[in-house]
Amino acid sequence: MSVPPEERRPPLSPQLALRVAIAGSFALGMFAIIFFRLWFLQILSGNQYVQAAAVNRLKDVPIAAPRGEILDRSGRVLVDSVRESAVVISPESLPVPVSLAALNTIEQPPRADNVLYDRLARVLGMHTRPVRCHLYVAGVNTFRLSPIACLVGQQVSLAPVQDVTVASGPQQVPTAVEFYLAERQAQFPGVSIRHVYTTNYPYGTLAAQVLGTVGQISAGELGSSPYKGIPQGSIVGQSGLEAQYNSFLQGRDGYQQVLVNAFGQPVSSISTQAPAPGENLRTSLDAALQRVGQNALAYSMSVNPSPFNPSPGGAFVAMDPVNGQVYAMGSGPSFNPGDFTHPMTQAYYDAHYRNASSDYPLLNRAIQSAGPTGSTFKPITATAALQSGVWAPNQLFDDTGLYCVGVGISQQCRHNAGHAVYGVIDLRAAIKFSSDDFFYNLGVRLNPNHPSRHPNGGALQLWARRYGIGRPTGIDLPGEVSGTLPTPLWREQRNLLEYQCDTATGPFKYSNPSGTQSGPRRLPGWHRSPKHPPGGCGIADGTNRPWSVGDSENLAVGQGDVQVTPLQLADVFSAVANGHDVPTPHIGLDVQSANGTVLQTINQPAGHPITVNPFYMDEIRQGLREAASWPGGTSASVFSSFPEQVYGKTGTAQYFNAQHVQTDYAWYACFVPPTATTKPIVIVVWVEDGGYGAIAAAPVARQMLSQWFFGRPGPYSGPWR
């Protein structure tokens, strides 16, 4: 090929040629490196970078689904969801993104973030001064942070990817603030206005423990059975019905996939998945009855004359004695579940829910607190005595005011409450007057002759078990305790535990530094448990004391080691009321769609049949009827004027309370049976440290019955008024 002459290179000096060649080779080498790098990036690894770019720009913005409502039996709304505007901070979109790792190493938020927090705080009218702030991180976990920085830190330490709600609701986020922030997104990177659904409680503290609280799903709950498939950061039921029926109540959040720019601001929407609202739960609760019960219980707790006024706790249950539908269930003190729907400070939580002085309002004492029932146990003893033949309905007993067993120096004597003397009485009168001597006598007669050969006890334990003592009732609420039915075997186990604790063996071999936990293996930081003098652990009363006749005497009158929840006692009295069945209590009735269509009826579990001679049952019921209202009956002062046929039993249990002082737990259990009314009901009331059942508990029951039958509670009829 011929080259035009002017294109021919002029002869070069060899040195310049060499240096031009060096420069050209260098350029060629650089271009080669760049081309191969581009080839590697774009052709060989292109897909990987396409994905990285997608991660950059696509963001799922959740669209909150409202939780379903909880209704009472007549459809009144006990819990609903309200749509609110919330100001949320996305920690990963802040000027300096906040991560869990950042929390662990820095004590103060980065300056750029703090400037943003302060700017936002001024808009929202929040403080900017640092306050004490607990973060759930390892090591030092108390910081001094401004309130917003504290909220961000706490949220990130709990659920790192979750957005932080700084303020919500019309009080905290007025419309003007909403607009202000929306118009100035560039000044508030990482801050956005979201519409959220907040659980709302129109009746405040009403049935708080039964309805339960909602809260963010915890690390432990995540992926565990009732919460399977629920994503991190979701609001789920944490207790009560909200937790029990979470699968119905919780909606499925929708989401919108949006294109975001480098500042995290949405540019356009790619796709939308609509949220599915939760379904409504209709319960058997009666809001009005619940309200009356709660007010009356709170009143009783506040005015009871015991040295521990106000009473640290109390509970009531009202249910249908035939089918077990719970009409009302309350626990005092109550609380406002709405506290848990907004950010709460640690100090507030400690003071109101965690410290001993709060009296633990989160505890549902109707199912989670068990104690000796006092004389309300007597119908069980009576059933056992009659059915096993150790006593006959008309058999008479001479109550001299003192009942002794044994002879000589081993003789032990007990007397009636208040040193009363009832003279010659039959079973019916014994229930009416609540003669302890009479039932001590039955307890002795029901005590097995050779306790060691009857590890599960005798007829008394048999019938107590049939009435449901010592096992959970099976109500549709989480966390129910089973209580205790003392038997010879149980006592042996307690003795063994006492021995192991005293000698620091078995499960007591090692304990943690604070001594609150122990176990058979040495965990990190644990030490060998200290030994105790025999009986020093207080697990059993005494050292290796075998089952004695005194245990049976105690059990016969509901004192001592027996532990019964108010709901279990309500079940016992339901069985007495209907005569044949220990119902399984339940609250959930059906699941409805938002417009009230019944989607699913919740199965009503069958009860436990109990076969008692109807004649015997009549005797017991008659005793209860006379005890409730007849002159001389234990609660006649409360119920003598009540128009309905009330069958009731007082109970006053001696108990060592948290201060190790012996006090009286006041019980009252009563029913209006299906034979006497078209709307039968059983009510159990329990007031801790309340004194006599007739004084502290029965008036609460009366107000509830009055509400149930006549639609108004009537005056509080405490004898001290």
Structure tokens at 496: 């063994």
Interaction between residue 223 and another protein (CB under 8 A): no
Span from 29-37, 72-80, 519-527, 581-589 in contact with another protein (CB under 8 A): 29-37
Interaction between residue 3 and another protein (CB under 8 A): no
Interaction between residue 20 and another protein (CB under 8 A): yes
Given a contact cutoff of 8 angstroms between Cβ atoms, the answer to whether 437 and 400 are in contact is yes
Interaction between residue 395 and another protein (CB under 8 A): no
Shortest separation between residue 16's beta carbon and another protein, angstroms: 4
Interaction between residue 186 and another protein (CB under 8 A): no
Residue 378 phi/psi, 5° resolution?
A: -60, -35
How far is CA 191 from its chain centroid?
34
**Which residues are bridge partners to 166 per DSSP?**
none
Span from 94-102, 247-255, 487-495, 516-524 in contact with another protein (CB under 8 A): 94-102
Interaction between residue 161 and another protein (CB under 8 A): no
Q: Which residues inside 259-288 make contact with another protein, applying CB under 8 A?
A: 259-263, 267
Taking the least distance from each CB to another protein, the nearer of 31 and 710 is: 31
Taking the least distance from each CB to another protein, the nearer of 158 and 322 is: 158
Interaction between residue 12 and another protein (CB under 8 A): yes
Distance CA 422, CA 416 (A): 9
Among 2, 3, 13, 453, binds another protein (CB under 8 A): 13
Shortest separation between residue 217's beta carbon and another protein, angstroms: 26
Interaction between residue 594 and another protein (CB under 8 A): no
Taking the least distance from each CB to another protein, the nearer of 42 and 412 is: 42
Long-range contacts of 299-304 (CB under 8 A, 24+ apart): 299/700, 299/716, 300/685, 300/687, 300/690, 300/696, 300/697, 300/699, 300/700, 300/718, 301/332, 301/333, 301/687, 301/690, 303/718, 303/720, 304/666, 304/687, 304/689, 304/690, 304/691, 304/695, 304/696
Q: Which residues inside 325-364 make contact with another protein, applying CB under 8 A?
A: none
Span from 3-11, 286-294, 379-387, 507-515 in contact with another protein (CB under 8 A): 3-11
Q: Which of 83, 60, 7 is nearest to 233 (CA)?
A: 60
Shortest separation between residue 31's beta carbon and another protein, angstroms: 6
Q: Buried b vs exposed e over 269-293: b needs ≥16 C-beta within 10 Å?
A: eeeeeebebbbbbbbbbbbbbbbbb
H/E stretch holding 256 reads strand 254-260
Shortest separation between residue 145's beta carbon and another protein, angstroms: 14
Interaction between residue 15 and another protein (CB under 8 A): yes
Span from 238-246, 255-263, 366-374, 530-538 in contact with another protein (CB under 8 A): 255-263
Beta strand extents in 46-130 (DSSP E only): 58-63, 70-71, 77-89
Among 38, 115, 161, 594, binds another protein (CB under 8 A): 38
Taking the least distance from each CB to another protein, the nearer of 14 and 643 is: 14
Give CA separation, 35 vs 24, 26, 50, 52, in Å: 16, 14, 20, 22
For the chain, give the longest Cα–Cα distance.
146
Rg (CA), the chain: 35
Interaction between residue 107 and another protein (CB under 8 A): no
Interaction between residue 139 and another protein (CB under 8 A): no
Q: Which residues inside 48-77 make contact with another protein, applying CB under 8 A?
A: 48-50, 52-53, 56-57
Long-range contacts of 111-114 (CB under 8 A, 24+ apart): 113/149, 113/152, 114/146, 114/149
Among 1, 2, 3, 9, binds another protein (CB under 8 A): 9
Interaction between residue 14 and another protein (CB under 8 A): yes
Contacts of 97 (CB under 8 A, 6+ apart): 91
**What is the binding site for another protein (CB under 8 A)?**
4-6, 8-17, 19-20, 22-24, 26-27, 30-31, 33-35, 37-39, 41-43, 45-50, 52-53, 56-57, 96, 98-99, 101-106, 109-110, 259-263, 267
